[in-house]
Structure formats: C-alpha cells, structure tokens
Amino acid sequence: MQPHSEPMSAVDRAWLRMESEQNPMMISAVLAFDDAIPLPRLRRVLSERLLAFRRFRQRPYHHRGTTYWQDDPRFDLDNHLHRMALAGQGSQLDLQELVSDLNSTPLDFRHPLWQIHYVDHYGDGCALIVRIHHCIADGLSLVRVLLSLTDSNATAKIHTLSPSANRPPRRQALWQRRLDQLLTAPSTIRQRGERLRHSLREGQFGRRFAREASGWVVDGLKLALAANEPPTGLKPALSGRKQVAWANPLDLAQVKECAHTLGGTVNDVLLSVAAGTLHQYFENRGRQAPDCGLRVAVPFNLRPLHQPVDTLGNQFGLVLVTLPVDVPCPLMRFHQTRETMSRLKQSHQAEITYSLLDLFGHGPDQLERQALNLLSHKATAVLTNVPGPKQPVYLAGARLRQPMFWVPQSGDIGIGMSIFTYDDTVQFGFSVDKAIDLDPNAVMIDFHNEFDRLLQAIPRGQPFLTEPRAAS
C-alpha cells in the first residue's frame, strides 16, 4: 500500500526551499519546567496529542516537480524524542550552549521535520528543546499546537485530541483564500473587509476598489524600491553557527502601565525597547548609528483568530518595521516607533509578502532564492511578538515555568529577536549568528536596562501628551 500523501501548499513549499547552510528553517523553543517530567508520560502525551496532527507523521516528498506531504512508512517516535543531560553545572548558560548547538544543526529530511530533546536536571526540574521546520506551520500555529499538549492544572488526565485533527484541511481555490484573508484576518485587515462590504451596500464599490487597488500598488512599490540596509557590521557573511540567550522576564503589568501612560500599546513599548537595545550596540562601540534607522522583519498574522488549532500551514505575511536605533532618547524612540506601527497597520505589506511567497512557491527554486535574497537585504533582523497563555500551564503534570521561542532567519539575516507573553510576564530571547560581533547575554542585560530607562524617562504626574490607546 502506498503511503498517504497530499500536495504541499505553495507557501509551505517556499519555506521548505528557504533552507540553507547558514540559516536552517527551524522554529525552536525552550520550555523550562519546575519539576521533572516522567518520560513514559511525556511519550504518551506526544503520542496521543502531538501525533494526532497528521503533519507530524509526514515528511516532504518530491515527485515530478510537485512537493507532497507523505506519511513516513517507518515512523518511530524514538527518531524524534531524545533524552540528554547538560554538561557543567546544569546552569542556564549550559542550556543556552546546548540550544545554540542544536539550532545550528539542520533537521533530518529523511524523517518528519521535528525533534524534541528532553534535558534532565535543569534546575530543580527539566527542560524541553523543541525544533520544528517552518514548512509545517508558522510560529503562531506551532505555539498553539504546543499549548494543546498542556493542561490548566497538574492533575488533569491525558486525553486524546479530536480525530478531526487527522483530516487534511479542505483545499480552497486561490480566490477563496485571498477573500478569507481580506475579510476575516485580524485588526486592520478585517476592518478593510468591513469597509469593502459597506461600500458594496452603498453602491461605492468602484471607488473603494480603486482605493484598495492603489494602496496595494503603492505599498508594493515602496517594498520593491526600499533601499538595502546600510553597512553596520550586523550583516557580515554568515557562519551558520547560532548563539542564543534569553532574559529574566519583565512584569507584563508594568509593561502595560508604561504603554497606557505613554498612549501606546504593549507592542509599541517592546519594539522601542528593542530599538534601544540595538542603539546600545552602536553606543558600546563608539560608532554612529545609521540616521535612517534599521529595519526588522516582523511576521503579521493573516490567520482568522477563530480558526481551529488543527489547521496547520503558514498563514502570515511580513512587514518591514524601521526601528529608530539612531535616537538616543527613550521617549523619542517610543513615539517614533508608535507612529511607524500606526502607519504600517494601514498598509498592505503583509498581504503583499504573503502573495509573493505563494508566487515563489509555484516558481523555480532559483527564482525564489534570488527574490528572497533581495528581500532579506532590506532587513537587519527578524522580530516576533507572540501572545501566550495568561495563566500557567502544565505538561504531563509539570508546571511550565519559562517558555522561549525563536523563528528562523533567511537569506543574509543573522539576528532574531523573540518576544512571548506568558503568565503575566514578557519573555525576551535573542539569536545571533556567530560571525556577528554581538554577545547575546550582553544584549539581554541591555534589554532590561533600556526598559528601565524608558520607565525613568516618563514624566511623573504629567498629563497625557496624546489620548492613550488601549494596550494590546
């Protein structure tokens, strides 16, 4: 009997083909727990919950120019779950060194593209290092998958996920997918869909369509004509060896209070702090930061928020955010970042980049690589901001103490910054290619210092300069 197979979407195929020696296309996570997880119970959770998603038992298969997801006829959980212990004292630095080594190592394409390393005796508990190829799904979807393995308390019984997770997603025509993205995606994209429906009712479709079309054209031209990043030392020839670190978490309530006081959002605060962290790179070296700022590629979710967790695949676009790394004042950095984000929320960049990935996935490999190289020249780093659970969660009875996630970089981008909210905290992680003169642990210190500087710069007892927005 032939193994079950189904065609891979063009966007997922594009992410599969982005794999390079310098940048393996893996989404990685470190999950630290208060207690040790019994390995037999962990295996049962993975078997009954993770493997309920068929994609984790499938591998990419190429045949006559088409790429398929094909069931692995010799699938064995032991090929994907490995137990190990840390060298040295079992400290965070020791774990970071292990994660750095694994994030520099590509996955085995002979098997389904994921691995979990169980790390014994990390602190008083254990840690899991999870690596999943980006072609399986985007970061938001994979976070939801990993959270589906957990429970809200330590004593919950293990239950198998709904069999519906085994069914391949219903395939839609391209126009249906585009319409769904326009009308049901979150934030301003959904708002544009509502305005479009209103225009149809009011007989203004022609004007509205012309305005939307011109917006696409203008934003497409802006993206295509954007200059390459200036020479800064942050984009040398990459080595392919990764170094990662993560910080002690920030208090989410404090970040929200800062955002409310300044009339912005949590995202505005965190992006401006990230800009300050990169500003410190130039300060520490006595170098002038580029007065045009530096761009970071930020994933923008195009997935309907009500979509069930069993729908995998990649459904996001990228927006290029200019961080004011040349501005020394924390308050000025915040206001510039807030204005930049406000403009981008009205743009079509996310839909345009998603459409480009769809187009590249249908085209030849060489064309995709050339186009992606052109895009990667326009950004210095990738920055992700993913919301997680507001309450603590438990995996196989063990409380998750600290989670951290990284998405891969592509082309000549060698820096990744990750922000993840969990249990009323903000987790910040950093990944950098070894060829770049940046110590990730020093960056962690700078991140905390820059947040403190922003707090200290807020005028006490002063009225709002602008109407405060709801923190998100």
User: Distances in Å between the alpha carbon of 24 and those of 104, 347, 356, 465?
Assistant: 7, 30, 21, 45
Q: Tell me what the pLDDT averaged over the chain comes to.
A: 79
How confident is the model over 327-360, as pLDDT tens digits? 999 999 999 999 988 877 666 555 555 555 555 5
Q: What are phi and psi of 313, to 5 degrees?
A: 95, 175
Residue 414 contacts residue 432 (beta carbons within 8 Å): yes
pLDDT at 165: 40
Label residue 278 left, alpha or beta by phi (over 0 means left) and psi (-120 to 50 means alpha): alpha
384 DSSP β-pair partners? 418
Average pLDDT for 379-402:
90
pLDDT at 308: 57
Q: What is the 3-state secondary structure (H, E, C) of 350-409?
A: HHHHHHHHHHHHHCCHHHHHHHHHHHHCCCCEEEEEEECCCCCCEECCEEEEEEEEECCC
Question: Where do the DSSP E strands lie in 256-315?
Answer: 294-301
CA-based radius of gyration for the chain: 22
Q: Among 113-122, 196-205, 338-347, whose mean pLDDT is lowest?
A: 196-205
pLDDT at 408: 84
Binning pLDDT at 50, 70 and 90, where does residue 317 land? low
How confident is the model over 6-59, as pLDDT tens digits? 888 887 888 888 888 889 988 899 999 999 999 999 999 999 999 999 999 999
Binning pLDDT at 50, 70 and 90, where does residue 218 land? very low
The answer, yes or no, to whether residue 415 has pLDDT greater than 50, is yes
The answer, yes or no, to whether residue 263 has pLDDT greater than 70, is yes
Q: What value, to the nearest 5°, has the Cα angle with vertex 214 and ends 208 and 220?
A: 140
Can you say how many angstroms the Cα of residue 203 is from the centroid of all Cα atoms in its chain?
Answer: 40
For residues 132 and 114, give the distance between their C-alpha atoms in angstroms, rounded to a whole number: 4
Residue 107 contacts residue 136 (beta carbons within 8 Å): no
pLDDT at 101: 95
The residue behind tokens 């951290």 is: 404
Domains, the chain? 5-158 (3.30.559.10), 174-220 (no CATH), 227-388+407-457 (3.30.559.30)
Binning pLDDT at 50, 70 and 90, where does residue 205 land? very low
Average pLDDT for 128-142:
87
The answer, yes or no, to whether residue 193 has pLDDT greater than 70, is no
58 DSSP β-pair partners? 71
Q: Among 236-240, 272-276, 394-398, 406-410, whose mean pLDDT is lowest?
A: 406-410
- Read off the tokens for 228: 């390459």
pLDDT at 129: 97
Q: Among 41-50, 177-186, 243-252, whose mean pLDDT is lowest?
A: 177-186
The answer, yes or no, to whether residue 163 has pLDDT greater than 50, is no
